[in-house]
Structure 1
């Protein structure tokens, strides 16, 4: 570049370089000062994380102001805009300052850094080392690990565990909220056996259940089963309903799908024969007839061509095909109560009680006016000591939203504000979120403390559910120390707004341990922070953790439809590809989880050639080889001997 030293263009450019230089020096001084002031905190950090913790503090100081105007000026000058500074903050600023010093001749002495400066390659190396320590070695050709949540059947199905490991699972996740220590032991035994057979290694990750804030029970509704044949659009029967009769004293599951399974007297059942008719009067006082179509040792199959409602005690009368045998009767012994629910619409009032008495739907008078609002209990009633009027409340993974109108000694009044247009049903044992309330729930429940002895003895990694504050992490660390055995790595599950806001402090506390990580538990987190903000929250967590060189697990509903139904949505594929920004992606259980693992492995391998964290990788772009203009240009070069 040729410039005239006396020209106004040179002077204005040089002035711009000087201004940017001075602004960056101020920022750098603040970063160094932050590190010096934090020396007592850094002294508590594990030696393997101390430089990473210092880099995290530098990053937090850097992001304490809006850098966008400075970034625009840096980019206009052809300099780094600091957009990839996460893993090496001070080195990035120093590199820009060095260029500016050469351009301006300003050799202002910079403040001495407060410790070792992590350069570009060291930042990436530390993240790789910490990831391998937490999650094990990466698969060839795929840097992002795959974690799979074990279904209950994994305790008794060695082949499932074997094939998951074969397809590419590097981390087996066991959710302590389900099954028990005996089942967990069998799952781990299957994994160790599969490791030997395949010559592979896999980490065992155990997730503590944590405090589960859920809706209480509901009153049972009438025990009735509706038996309905399949009909075409004209109402004509195209397939009869299938009923499985089994002895009440020896329950036997139906050997094939059934529309109803009914327990009856064993002696009566033994006398049934193919071709017999079973006559009855159903709960609507309608006469109905079933035809017996098959009898085996375990029970009998019958078919029905008309819709029938059966309740406990319904009388069944056997009539032989010839009508010559004596008529025998019995009664249906048991019909399971139907699950109750509360149908809620915007504007409805819901009473959330502090007891575990069964809730019930609202009651209206003959004119449609509400006499008694719907009510339901709460699994942890003490949370309402921390709730205030005007705060939001969500139910069932954000399907139903409301506002707390009044907090009383025995109940909380909620006004429903958001549901689907047709309303939404709230059932028992559904999640409750209070994103605006400062809840004082302990992260470790009594059940967690009981499970922790097994976890510490068998797991490589322990996940702390609903981690909300630094003291939660300290409590887990103290409990692991008290057990005085193996010390599994710690993963913080970020699934509340409070946990997200306190992530830096929790990370610096977790980094006192020799190995740690973070899971973005996107289900509850989306409800807590707002679905529209979820993408932004994910990014911030990824940035913070990269600055700390701490691996991230991308979790919840990844390829969910594929795992459960066998066919993914387009949005799921895109979401799974975005998971490549993390160090591990977690799949949940489902009938098609093997297919989901194979698909995820394929996606992650493809994305590795295109993306590394936020940085695009400029692999050969295939579209460029199909461009007519490029082909013409290449041909022109060939003609000129190029």
Structure 2
């Protein structure tokens, strides 16, 4: 094919101009490169060059290079300058031009991918079997008391476990880690332990509780006929510790019901244990419920001093309701108060206040856990509640109140409860990256964990602050994972990565839950792609997180969409699964999906292995 020499010369000139811009960017990043850990300096230069490259729209140049049969620069991430130099030389020879003056790149075609692979191994451990992507599993509270849970997770294929410091405490965390170490010895392979610092999570304040009421109802068919009666566990209400000691001296301990077992209905006073003991299978307990309806409970089982009863009609119990069996009576004891929630519609006004006193459900206001909101928020800023189920715009800000006009509510109406997340994507909240609780947990993390995760990273200063505290505690070898879950963190990711690279072992978690709320679900796919590319240029391993195979982990059966999502997650160095009753099955499924996809896809590169699907 005849090629136009003038066109070849013009393409070469565009490449040379791009080359000069990359070299200038390397010089501008000199301080950040010098501050990087010695093992990361080449990666820091490559990151600076990639950031500069992506400041240009090179699509016309890519088309010209592809037409000439040359690399279109679409896979430059791990070795930016090396790719550009190779294309410049190839094009010069194709055009009959003198070889250009080339510069030794900070990383080449071999060392770039090797650095990323080694950094992932150092931070997260080696992936097992035939896959490159590791699997991380969040441990539930039960992992502290059930050694078999950790064993099942490790046996299924997880290489990393995650402990969330927002829950439980050092005693439970120690037990979890002991169980993980026992499991790794049993299965003959190392499992990395990461611990998440909760950070300054912004949440709604408390709401005054509702009445003490317990509603039970049977399962009915489409015609309203009872197909399964409701069950309750009658148990004695113990008013004080002395009475409790007296009771346990004469009665065997009641068996704990399963988490999905019948609801407890306490009856008042220790003396009523005699009333309970007098109930036998087949006996009837009669009452009038909170609505004055006559109801009859039937005793169907004995559990220590407790009695299991069934009822085939709906019952509302409140404290003080009389229960009669034979000639004896007792009363219903104290019940948990019902959770109250604010009902919100588009057009409603909701006022945030700094006080965390419980508010009435009809007050039109709710507390806010972080006072910085009243300093940093501004008129017109967007605000979301409860993972984006409710959205609004801020209409007015004062030191004591933020007035919000509700603009969207899922289904036209949403009940907003206490302790629900608040997102402010337009607001630059000046928050400390580490809370007092985080700082109190750091000594434990340094002593017991392999890596620590920093939540809600918004800028480089957050990273430097944690690094200083870890250094003071002698935790210089601890891995550092940065969770990007805000728009501010995404927009400042280059600076965050430069700061992170001062540390020897670093990674990034794409926390897609809060990030999707802040950026909008339509932008999430774009954001996670850009983060994967940028981190690959820095040779920083990525953890793909939030709701991966979530339906499978919770219900035992995946959705089609999440299987596709799991397949796409293999472009990261690690994938995180959340807890759930079927998390072991989720690990096994993800292990299989990632292993299969490894033969087809590596980062942005399609791998053309021999296909056997259509052989005769």
TM bracket, shorter-chain basis = over 0.9
497-506 or 403-412, which moves further after superposition?
403-412
> Does 2:508 correspond to 1:518?
yes
Q: Could you say which residue in structure 2 is the equivalent of 1:28?
A: 19
SS class of match (1:625): coil
Kept in 2: contact 1:457–1:486 (CA 8 A) = no
Partner of 1:532: 522
Unaligned stretches of 5+ residues in structure 1: 4-9, 320-326, 363-371, 627-642
Structure 1: 4+ residue segments shifted above 3 A: 250-260
1:625 maps onto 2:615 in alignment: yes
Q: Give the whole-Å Cα distance in 1 for the aligned partners of 2:471 and 2:530.
A: 31
Q: Normalised by the size of structure 2, how large is the TM-score?
A: 0.94
Match of 2:532 in 1: 542
Query: Is 1:102 matched up with 2:93?
Result: yes
Deviation per CA, 1:82-120: give whole Å up to 9, x if none: 11011111111111111111122222743x63x644221
Q: Give the match's secondary structure for 2:70.
A: coil
Contact 1:227–1:259 at 8 Å: present in 2 too? Answer: no
For 1:245 and 1:190, how far apart are their aligned partners in 2?
Answer: 35
Structure 2: distance between partners of 1:130 and 1:417: 45
- The reply on whether 1:414 has 2:417 as its aligned counterpart is no
Is 1:310 the counterpart of 2:300 in the alignment?
Answer: no
Aligned-residue offset at 1:275: 3.0
Bigger radius of gyration, 1 or 2? 1
Structure 2 residue 545 is the aligned partner of structure 1 residue 555: yes
Alignment match of 1:204 (pick from 161, 169, 193): 193
Give the distance between the partners of 1:116 and 1:616, measured in 2 at CA. Answer: 25
| 1:573 corresponds to which of 563, 579, 585 | 563
- Range that drifts further, 334-343 or 475-484: 334-343
More displaced 10-residue stretch of structure 1: 529-538 or 290-299: 290-299
1:263 equivalent in alignment to 2:266: yes
The count of residues paired between Structure 1 and Structure 2 equals 598
Report the Cα offset of residue 538 of structure 1.
0.3
Match of 2:134 among 106, 123, 145: 145
SS at the partner of 1:428?
Answer: coil
Please report how far the alpha carbon of residue 258 of structure 1 lies from its aligned counterpart in structure 2 after TM superposition: 5.1
Q: Distance in 1 between matches of 2:164 and 2:73?
A: 40
Give how far 1:421 is off: 2.4
Q: Deviations over 1:119-142 (max 9, x none)?
A: 211111111111111111221311
Report the TM-score when normalising by structure 1. 0.90
Match of 2:251? none
| Alignment partners' CA distance in 1, 2:260 and 2:133 | 40
1:375: how far off?
1.7
Structure 1 counterpart of 2:183: 194
Q: Is the 8 A contact 1:579 1:585 kept in 2?
A: yes
Contact kept, 8 Å, 2:219 with 2:230, in 1: the verdict is yes
**Alignment partners' CA distance in 2, 1:189 and 1:557:** 27
Partner of 1:40: 31
- Write the deviation string for residues 200-259 of structure 1: whole angstroms up to 9, x where unpaired: 111111111111111111111111111212222222222222221111126764469555
What is the SS of the residue equivalent to 1:443?
Answer: coil
In structure 2, how many angstroms separate the alpha carbons of the residues matched to 1:512 and 1:254?
Answer: 51
Higher RCO (CA-CA < 8 Å; seq separation 6+): 2
CA contact (8 A) 2:477 2:505 kept: no
Report the RMSD for the aligned CA atoms in angstroms. Answer: 1.7
- Residue of structure 1 equivalent to 2:481: 491
* Structure 1 counterpart of 2:249: none
Q: Which residue of 2 aligns with 1:602?
A: 592
Task: Summarize the Cα distance change of 1:449–1:256 in structure 2 as closer, same or farther, 3 Å threshold.
Answer: closer
How far apart in 1 are the matches of 2:109 and 2:260? 60
Contact 2:156 2:588 in 1 (8 A): yes
Question: Is 1:355–2:355 an aligned residue pair?
Answer: yes
1:640 aligned partner: none
Alpha-carbon contact 1:278-1:318 (below 8 Å) kept: yes
**Map of 1:233-252 to 2, 5 A cutoff?**
233-249=222-238
Q: Distance in 2 between matches of 1:31 and 1:228?
A: 69
Counterpart of 2:308 (choices 301, 314, 319) is 301
SS of structure 2 residue aligned to 1:580: helix
Match of 1:85 in 2: 76
Q: Structure 2: which 5+ residue stretches go unaligned?
A: 239-243, 245-253
| Deviation of 1:273 (Å) | 2.6
Partner-residue secondary structure (3-state), 1:622: coil
Contact 2:546–2:576 (CA under 8 A) maintained in structure 1? yes
Residues 448-494 of structure 1: CA distance to partner in whole angstroms, max 9, x if unpaired?
Answer: 00100111111111111111110100000100111124630111100
* Aligned twin of 1:582: 572
Aligned to 1:330: 330
Q: Secondary structure in 1 aligned to 2:79?
A: helix
The answer as to whether partners of 2:374 and 2:400 remain within 8 angstroms in 1 is: no
Query: Does 1:222 pair with 2:211?
Result: yes
Moved more, 226-235 or 330-339: 226-235
